[in-house]
Chains A and B, each alone.
Chain A
């Protein structure tokens, strides 16, 4: 069968399984490794080779690949096992779905992971537009719409969107999928403010979602199971907070690559023991690196952070930044979870409250739902992150669809310069679609910018 027409989740499962079957210590000349590399898209081959080169990164990626192989397998088996699947955006925490015995699939995560198997996902990005979606909608979800159109993805049982108010394209695409493919959608309204009143409102909304999910799935939320999930979520939170602490060191011992696995794990697996294992490994490796004085080689020349989204194609930007620029990629706003609360697991109510609070503090929902300079909004958080992690400069990747971020970039950048004296670079392009601005151009712009700082 033409590979392009095969189910995307099945293909991801195959790739991650092959990847995770490889020995921890890689022999790059072995037939297994060569076979595996042949299955990858160009972008991901570069990414894999990159991670394989650095033994510390390899250690982190082994567990990550294994956990994801499991994850895709569970999705493959979901139908057979009578488990319902739910599509969610990146600002919808997965815990509640695990507690309800549902399988969550983050559309942005799938879109990004899909880049492993098919070069650029261009066919799907374009198909979504050909079939009606406006081309200004976000490519982070568009590939998935294209996959549904092409029939290489099974329809989920329902959709849950928790992004209303943070990003129009994000919420609107769920309404579109719901109408076009006739899939029930449940929405969670995000209030404009970030205070106790907003949290109370949001918590009520969150609880209603739980009730709605119970109704549509027929599964009842069990308090003990919820506690188990919340405890695993708390463990993951504590671990990634520790990793964040390590990032404060100058030079930073946490490899740039960590940011990628953090995001995928947080959005997909938090609430499972796999997520705990991944973060534990990342922490162990980073601590070890701190001990032995390992960091960006040969020296940490620049510490920078992405102001909002990262770049998800091109494979080796992390390594390039490390090796050729001597730059530490501290974080991007989408992996920034410093405000994630520890969930109080005493009662059903406190747990649901904690999960709701976690959701309200997820990237984007937290920073882009209100006015630019309100408490807990984009400016305040950027100031906090830049200051806490001692960034020398900031980069805005300029993902075209993020109109709500573009619309205040100038205000925010000016204010950061004023308050912290830190310069920013504004790129233009697309985080997922390499055809808009190529990685070569992006690298050139970043490199020119870094030069001005030295």
Chain B
């Protein structure tokens, strides 16, 4: 199977073929939800970190009894898949107090469908020396909990090794984004979304291999510049290639993003000199900040402006899942700042997965693209 087809197949189902192989080797899989969770700790313990999403949920009928109609549909879809037993292959899951919705998803998950290893890793909501110290202590506690539960010893060497593997992923993904930023992007935004999605649910060594050959192939192919409107997408959690495809179908191409399922996830690397644990803590605490980090809006805005420049973006999609106040408010602020800079943008409120309304999104995007000359 060609690398892209292989990645697509992996990203399609929750318990995919590589996860099954991993489990068949007698190894454990642990779920996580947020980019503030240092995955390298799990990998150093020979555990597969697996990003929980609501992929495949057909409705949220079970979850809605606990997480309600005023909770974000992403959190509800995750819980729904948990309730339906789709995540029973996980030995447990690690959560972060990322936002009101996801920490309540944890509460319900922990109360109703606990797995043997359930863990909450609280992260401060600000950058400060005390915050960094707090976060470090939490990561230490987390590492200790992993060691105790799985009866493993996470040595510096193993951690260093894991950091190198993850940095390689980050390097390759950066290369993917360089190619997307070029005049002739070899991948659509929807394809990029598939490529990224797969990376969250498979061992990174194998991912790196597939991604490496995919990028080599892409580099070799010469592509003519495209006449499409170049877009950046930011906002709430977005792992939905169909949503992106829907946008692109209107004559656009998403060439970059500032998503936690995209650029914000891999942009920063772990320093490879010095103590790996300290480097890991630094990297995860200070990586491109999520809107949950108070007072950091200017940093996020500047990151987006940077992306706009390097990928020659013509319009920005500011999407947020209904009731996601963190991204909804950030988007409102971005809209104002982008306007000041003369950059076109559109705010889209959406629902996650099965609750989405593709038709409405298409109509609005079409009007937006017409306005900016698509």
| Cβ-defined contact, A134 with B294, below 8 A | no
- Give B74 Cβ to nearest chain A Cβ, in Å: 13
Bound complex: CA of A419 vs CA of B346, how far in Å? 50
Stretch from A104-112, A167-175, A216-224 that touches the partner: A167-175
Task: Please measure, in the bound complex, the distance between the C-alpha atom of A412 and the C-alpha atom of B134, giving whole angstroms.
Answer: 29
Asked if A175 contacts B323 (CB within 8 A), the reply is no
Which of B67, B105, B320 lies at the interface centre, i.e. has the most chain A CB atoms within 10 A of its CB?
Answer: B67
Question: In the complex, A408→B71 CA distance in Å?
Answer: 10
With a CB–CB cut-off of 8 A, which chain B residues contact A172?
291, 325-326, 329
Q: By the criterion CB–CB under 8 Å, are A134 and B332 in contact?
A: yes
How distant is the Cα of A201 from the Cα of B323 in the complex, in angstroms? Answer: 30
Q: Does A371 contact B (CB under 8 A)?
A: yes
Expressed in whole angstroms, the Cα–Cα distance for A190 and B126 within the complex equals: 10
Q: List 19 A-B contacts (CB under 8 A).
A: A133-B329, A133-B332, A134-B329, A134-B331, A137-B328, A168-B100, A171-B125, A175-B294, A189-B124, A189-B131, A189-B294, A191-B124, A191-B134, A192-B97, A371-B103, A373-B111, A401-B70, A403-B72, A411-B66
Q: Is the CB of B100 within 8 A of A407?
A: yes
A400 CB contacts on chain B under 8 angstroms: 70
**In contact, B332 and A403 (Cβ under 8 angstroms):** no
Q: How many residues of B contact A (CB 8 A)?
A: 47
Asked whether B106 lies within 8 Å of A371 as measured between CB atoms, the reply is yes
Tell me the minimal C-beta distance from A196 to chain B in angstroms. Answer: 13
List the A side residues contacting B291 at CB < 8 Å: 172
Q: How far is the CB of B355 from chain A (nearest CB, A)?
A: 15
Cα–Cα distance between A410 and B64 once the two chains are bound (Å) = 10
CB neighbours (8 Å) of A176 from chain B are: 329, 332-333
Contact A191 B122 (CB under 8 A): yes
Residues of A close to B111: CB separation below 8 A: 372-373, 411
CA distance A409 to B68 in the complex (A): 9
Contacts of B356 in A (CB 8 A): none
Shortest distance in angstroms between B124's beta carbon and chain A's nearest beta carbon? Answer: 5
B128 contacts partner chain A, Cβ-Cβ < 8 Å: yes
**Is residue B101 within 8 Å, beta carbon to beta carbon, of the partner chain?**
yes
B351-362 interface bits toward A, Cβ cutoff 8 Å, 1 = contact, 0 = none: 000000000000
Q: Which 4 A-B pairs have the closest CB atoms?
A: A407-B104, A192-B122, A134-B328, A164-B125
* Given A136-B323, A176-B333, A187-B294, A168 and B99 contact (CB-CB distance below 8 Å): yes
B313-332: contact bitstring with A at CB < 8 Å (1 yes, 0 no)? 00000001011011011011
Measured CB to CB, the nearest residue on chain A to B293 is: A164
- Which of B110, B130, B336 is A132 in contact with, Cβ under 8 Å? B336
Smallest beta-carbon distance A383→chain B, Å:
16
The answer to whether A408 and B333 touch across the interface, beta carbons within 8 angstroms, is no
Asked if residues A134 and B325 are in contact (CB atoms below 8 Å), the reply is: yes
**Which chain A residue has the least Cβ–Cβ distance from B108?**
A411
B107, B325, B336, most chain A CB atoms within 10 A: B325
The answer to whether B71 touches A406 (Cβ under 8 A) is yes
- The answer, yes or no, to whether B120 is at the interface (CB within 8 Å) is yes
Q: State which residues 163-219 of B face A: CB under 8 Å.
A: none
Residues of the B chain whose Cβ atoms lie less than 8 Å from the Cβ of A403: 70-72, 100-101, 104, 323, 325
Q: Which residues of A contact B117 (CB under 8 A)?
A: none
Q: Does A205 contact B (CB under 8 A)?
A: yes
A409, B65: Cα distance in complex, Å: 10
Interface centre among B111, B294, B328 (most CB of A within 10 A): B294
Interface check A404, CB cutoff 8 A? yes
Are B97 and A165 within 8 A (Cβ)? yes
Chain B CB within 8 A of A193 CB: yes
Q: Is A161 an interface residue (CB 8 A)?
A: yes
In the complex, residue of chain B having the shortest beta-carbon distance to the beta carbon of A134: B328
Task: Determine if B328 and A187 form an interchain contact, defined as CB atoms under 8 angstroms apart.
Answer: no
Given known A-B contacts A134-B320, A171-B294, A204-B130, A193 and B122 have beta carbons under 8 A apart: yes
Q: What separation, in Å, do the CA atoms of A180 and B105 have in the docked complex?
A: 32
Instruction: For the A-B complex with A168-B325, A171-B294, A371-B107 known, give 6 more contacts whose Cβ atoms are closer than 8 Å.
Output: A136-B323, A168-B292, A179-B336, A189-B125, A403-B323, A407-B71
The answer to the question of A208 belonging to the interface, with a C-beta cut-off of 8 Å to chain B, is: yes
In the assembled complex, the Cα of A193 lies from the Cα of B292 at a distance in Å of: 18
Q: How far is the CB of B21 from chain A (nearest CB, A)?
A: 34
Q: Indicate with 1 or 0, residue by residue over A9-37, a CB within 8 angstroms of chain B CB atoms.
A: 00000000000000000000000000000
CB–CB B107/A407 < 8 A: yes
Q: Does B335 interact with chain A (Cβ within 8 Å)? A: yes
Q: How far is the CA of A171 from the CA of B291 in the complex (A)?
A: 11
A187 touches B131 (CB 8 A): no
Cα of A208 to Cα of B100 in the assembled complex, Å = 26
A92 to chain B, nearest CB (A): 14
Min distance, Cβ A176 to any Cβ of chain B, angstroms: 5
Give the complex CA separation of A387 and B69 in angstroms.
30
Q: Give Cα A134 to B131, complex, Å.
A: 29
Question: In the complex, what's the smallest C-beta–C-beta distance from A126 to chain B, in angstroms?
Answer: 15
B62-94 vs A: 1/0 string, CB under 8 Å? 000111101110010000000000000000000
Q: Within 8 Å CB of B128, what residues of A?
A: 189, 205, 208
Shortest distance between the CB of B200 and any CB in chain A (Å): 24
Judge if A294 is at the interface, Cβ distance under 8 Å: no
Q: Does B267 contact A (CB under 8 A)?
A: no
Q: How far is the CB of A141 from chain B (nearest CB, A)?
A: 12
Contact with B along A224-237 (1 / 0, CB 8 A): 00000000000000
